[in-house]
Amino acid sequence: MAGAAAASATGSVNQIAALIDLDDPAAIDHAARAFAVDYADKRAGELIDGLNATTTDALRGLVSQALASNWSVDTFADRIEQAGLFTDYRAEMIARTEISMAQNAGALAAGKEAAKAGAKLKKAWRTADNPCPICEAAEAMGEIDLDADFGDAGDAPPPHPNCECELELVSE
């Protein structure tokens, strides 16, 4: 069922982007989730060294399921470990990083689509507890254009494994 939800969300990305209702505050959030599932389906696991194609495909499927089913990081890490892909510690780090990467990429994509539809948006970096210097510097930049980079941190979190920072879309 989660696979069907992921496929449904991935298949509807273009429809959701075209239907962003700027008068509905939840519309951008819905689009962000669909974009996140699409991102995970296509790109999850790319930054993990030493994965073979089978492991990468399995991880992509799990990331898509996690996002479509709104799994917690702990649930996702448990599923990665149960699949025999990684140890407990590595599964948790991968779960946290992959979900963050997909959610933040989805938020940025939804923000850009909303901007095409006429929304006046900027983005801001929001750090979590105990941020690293790279993330602190990104947050210190404040609100920036959607197409701009946060210096060494890139265009959206996470710039490193285990990063818990978030991209926030801000109405101008």
Tell me the per-residue pLDDT of 111-144, one tens digit each, with 9 for 90 and over: 898 888 888 999 999 998 889 999 999 999 999 9
Q: Which amino acid is at 23?
A: D
| End-to-end CA gap in the chain | 39
Q: What is the pLDDT of residues 67-109, one digit of tens each?
A: 888 898 999 999 989 988 888 888 899 889 888 988 898 889 8
Question: Looking at residue 141, what DSSP letter applies?
Answer: T
**Cβ proximity of 8 and 69 under 8 Å:** no
Q: Where are the alpha helices (DSSP H) in 12-87?
A: 13-18, 25-43, 53-68, 73-82
How many whole angstroms separate alpha carbon 128 and alpha carbon 41?
26
Residue-range domain boundaries for the chain: 2-171
Say which range, 39-53, 61-75, 122-136, 156-170, has the weakest mean pLDDT.
39-53
User: Is the torsion defined by CA of 84, 85, 90, 94 positive or negative?
Assistant: negative
pTM: 0.73
How many whole angstroms separate alpha carbon 61 and alpha carbon 102?
13
Confidence of residue 46 (pLDDT cuts 50, 70, 90): low
Question: Looking at residue 44, what DSSP letter applies?
Answer: T
How many whole angstroms separate alpha carbon 53 and alpha carbon 42?
13
Mean pLDDT to the nearest integer, 6-11: 40
